[in-house]
Structure 1
Amino acid sequence: MRPPHTLTPTPHRWHLAGSAAVAALLALGAHGAALAQAWPDKPLKVVVGFPPGGAADQIARLVSTPLATALGQPVVVENRAGANGNIAGESVVKSPADGYTLLMSSGGMVSVNPHISRMSFDPVKDLTPVASAARVLVYLMARPTIEAKNVQELIAYAKANPGKLTYGSAGNGSSPHLAGEMLKSQAGMFTVHVPYRGAAPALSDLMGGQIDYYFDPGIGLANAKAGRTKLLAVGSLKRSPLFPEVPTLDEVGLKGFDADTVFGFYAPAGTPPAVIAKLNTEINKVLATAAVKDRITALGGEALPLTPAEFGQRGLEDSKRFGAIIRERKITAD
Structure 2
Amino acid sequence: MKKTFVGGLLAALALWTLPAAAQTQTTNWPTKPVRVIVPLPAGGQSDAVVRYYMQKLETSLGQPFIVENKPGVNTMLGTQEVARAPADGYTILYNMTAIVSNPVLLTGVKYDPFKDFVPIHRTYELFAVFAVPGSSPNKTLASFVSAAKASREPVSYGTTGHASSSHYFVELLAKQAGLNMTHIPYKGESPLFPDLISGRLQAAIVSGAAVKQFEDGRLQPLAVSGTHRLSLLPNIPTFKELGYQGIGNESFAGFFAPTGTPPAIVEKLNRELTRISELPETRERLAALALEPSPAMTPAAFLALMRRAHDEWVSNRGAVDIKPQ
Please tell me the TM-score bracket, short chain as reference: 0.7 to 0.9
Correspondence for 2:313 among 295, 307, 322: 322
Equivalent of residue 206 in structure 2, options 216, 234, 237: 216
**Offset, 1:210:** 4.7
What one-letter code is carried by the residue in structure 2 that aligns with 1:308? P
Q: CA deviation at 1:327?
A: 1.4
Identify the residue that residue 154 of structure 1 maps to in structure 2.
Answer: 144
Segments of 5+ residues of structure 1 without an aligned counterpart are 1-19
**SS in structure 2 opposite 1:119?**
coil
| TM-aligned CA deviation for residue 189 of structure 1 | 1.1
Aligned residues: 311
Q: Secondary structure at the match of 2:252?
A: strand
Match of 1:164 in 2: 154
What does residue 35 of structure 2 align with?
45
Residue in 2 aligned with 1:188? 178
- Normalising by structure 2, what TM-score? 0.84
Is it true that 1:304 corresponds to 2:316 in the alignment? no
Separation in structure 1 between the aligned mates of residue 68 and residue 190 of structure 2, nearest angstrom: 17
Among 272, 290, 298, the residue aligned to 1:282 = 272
Aligned-partner residue type, residue 141 of structure 2: V
1:221-240 → structure 2 map (5 Å cutoff) = 221-240=211-230
Give 1:121's match in structure 2, choosing from 111, 127, 133.
111
* Cα-to-partner distance string for 1:267-291 (whole Å, 9 max, x where unaligned): 1222222222211111111111112
Select the residue among 102, 106, 109 that pairs with 2:92.
102
Q: In structure 2, what residue type is equivalent to 1:301?
A: E
AA at the equivalent of 1:118: G
AA aligned to 2:314 is G
Is 2:164 aligned against 1:177? no
Q: CA RMSD in A?
A: 2.8
Given the superposition, is the C-alpha separation of residues 253 and 124 from structure 1 closer, same or farther in structure 2, using an over 3 Å criterion? Answer: closer
Could you list the per-position Cα deviations for residues 127-176 of structure 1 after superposition, in whole angstroms to 9, with x for gaps in the alignment?
22121111212222223333422212222232233663322223334332
Which sits farther off after the overlay, 116-125 or 159-168?
Answer: 159-168
Alignment pair present for 1:78 and 2:85 = no
**SS at 1:265's partner residue?**
strand
Structure 2 counterpart of 1:91: 81
Query: Unaligned 5+ residue runs, structure 2?
Result: 1-11
Residue 260 of structure 2: SS of its match in structure 1? coil
For 2:255, the aligned partner's letter is F
Could you tell me which residue of structure 2 aligns to residue 16 of structure 1?
Answer: none
- Which residue identity lines up with residue 278 of structure 1 in the other structure? K
Task: Provide closer, same or farther for how the CA distance between residues 222 and 77 of structure 1 changes in structure 2, counting only shifts above 3 A.
Answer: farther
How big is the shift at 1:106?
A: 0.9
